[in-house]
Amino acid sequence: MFYREAGQYKKTYSADMAVFPLLQDRVGIAVILLVAAVIIPFFGSNFFISTVMIPFLVFALAAMGLNIVTGYTGLISLGTGAFMGVGAYACYKLTTYFPGVPIIIWIIASGFFSAAVGAIFGLPSLRIKGFYLAVATLAAQFFLEWCFVRIPWLFNYNASGAIEVPTRWIFGIPITGPNATPMTRYYVILGIVVLMTWVASNILHGRIGRSFMAVRDMDIAAELMGIRLLRTKLLAFALSSFYCGVAGATMMFLWYGGGEASDAFNINQSFIILFMVIIGGLGSLIGCFFGAALLHVIPIILKFGLPAIGVPLAGATAEHLNHLLVGGLIIFFLIVEPHGLARLWQITKQKLRTWPFPY
């Protein structure tokens, strides 16, 4: 009823292979982009933008990175936090040595460093799978975290041992540092996330994405069809780490505005992003956004929303309640739909298609 595809004939293969073959989907994505680009920055408060939207986009980007390797290629990685850290530190070093280059270029470029590191730690994936691979990537997490703390060159020998984000301007507008407004930072992140989501969708819909999924679903058959496993798996790790690295750089430079690696890029971060991917939906790009929203935005709503509607809560109580409710929600969603929110969304679309009839 609301989501009819009847009458939308696809006359060419390119129309049939489009990412959004249906008119309703195209309208939907246009509305979402409009809301994100116009309505939120102009009608959202600074608090909303910097506490809800910016972290949401950063987490969505990191989840996308992990989803490429775990959801699409079927290789569990627990090194996400560390790969994000590589991106943040690479960006820090790059902008220290070349302060004149626009920071956005360095944020993107830091992904390449992360990709290289990710590919190296992806090497064991040829031999081991599943939980054992997860443990091998855990080595990356601990080793890199150790590097972040113990190698002072990485944080420019700061007394604080942390990244101190410098102010960087583009066309006279401060993008990073204490003077950057939340709106500027939001626009930069939004631009990066939209661009990188588009690129991920392109890659995953094509030959490379299909070979990732082939490796995930039946690696023996994939190998016997001429897909070279090592190459494909390393590409998946590199691509995934690229996204994580950019997410880490945006996190440090556009959200945190500086901080210690042991807080931002520790094993907890890896797990949170893994949960986002699992709850959002393995092997689905939209699931990354759902997962990031559920695990990041809902706690904030609980924390600040309840006092706003007049439920008085002490800080500590809110924190505990928060853990309780989010935990409950995760269990609820996993019971309702073990394949994640993305599958739930698919089912909803199917129901909208046939409503008011049951099928």
Partner 1 sequence: MVPAQHIAPGDALLKVENVSLRFGGVKAITDVSFDIKKGEIRAIIGPNGAGKTSMLNVINGFYHPQEGLITYKGATRAKMKPYVAASQGIARTFQNVALFKGMSTLDNIMVGRTLKMKSSFFWQVFRHGPAMQEEIVHRRMVEEIIDFLEIEHIRKVPVGKLPYGLQKRVELGRALAMEPELLLLDEPMAGMNLEEKEDMCRFILDVKEQYGTTIALIEHDMGVVMDLSDRVVVLEYGRKIADGTPDEVKADQAVIDAYLGVAH
Smallest separation, CB 327 to partner 1 (Å): 29
Q: Tell me the window of 99-107, 198-206, 266-274, 302-310 that interacts with partner 1 (CB under 8 A).
A: 198-206
Among 138, 213, 300, 344, binds partner 1 (CB under 8 A): 213
Q: Which is nearer to partner 1, 88 or 222 (CB)?
A: 222
Q: Which is nearer to partner 1, 173 or 195 (CB)?
A: 195
Q: How far is CA 173 from CA 100, 183, 230, in A?
A: 14, 11, 44
Binding mask 261-290 for partner 1 (x = CB under 8 A): ----------------------x-------
Residue 331 lies near partner 1 (rule: CB under 8 A): no
Q: Is 220 in the site for partner 1 (CB under 8 A)?
A: yes
| Structure token digits, residue 303 | 């924390």
Q: Pick the stretch among 222-230, 240-248, 254-262, 290-298 that binds partner 1 (CB under 8 A).
A: 222-230
Q: Does 260 bind partner 1 (CB under 8 A)?
A: no
Is 93 among the residues that bind partner 1 (CB under 8 A)?
no
Least separation in angstroms between CB 17 and partner 1: 6
Check binding of 351 to partner 1 (CB under 8 A). Answer: no
Decide if residue 218 touches partner 1 (CB under 8 A).
yes
Residue 221 in contact with partner 1, rule: CB under 8 A = yes
- Asked whether position 13 contacts partner 1 by CB under 8 A, the answer is yes
Should residue 29 be labelled a site residue for partner 1 when binding is judged by CB under 8 A?
no
Cβ 357 to partner 1 shortest distance, Å? 21
Among 138, 139, 161, 210, binds partner 1 (CB under 8 A): 210
Smaller CB separation from partner 1, 65 or 258: 65
Using CB under 8 A as the binding rule, whether residue 203 contacts partner 1 is answered as yes
The 3-class SS string of the chain reads CCCCCCCCCCCCHHHHCCCCCCHHHHHHHHHHHHHHHHHHHHHCCHHHHHHHHHHHHHHHHHHHHHHHHHHHCCCCCCCHHHHHHHHHHHHHHHHHHCCCCCHHHHHHHHHHHHHHHHHHHHHHHHCCCHHHHHHHHHHHHHHHHHHHHHCHHHHCCCCCCCECCCCEEECCEEEECCCCCHHHHHHHHHHHHHHHHHHHHHHHHCHHHHHHHHHHHCHHHHHHCCCCHHHHHHHHHHHHHHHHHHHHHHHHHHHHCCECHHHHCCHHHHHHHHHHHHHHCCCCHHHHHHHHHHHHHHHHHHHHHHHHCCCCCCHHHHHHHHHHHHHHHHHHHHHHCCCCHHHHHHHHHHHHHHCCCCC
Q: Which residues contact partner 1 by CB under 8 A?
A: 12-14, 16-17, 199, 201-203, 205-208, 210-211, 213-214, 216-218, 220-228, 283
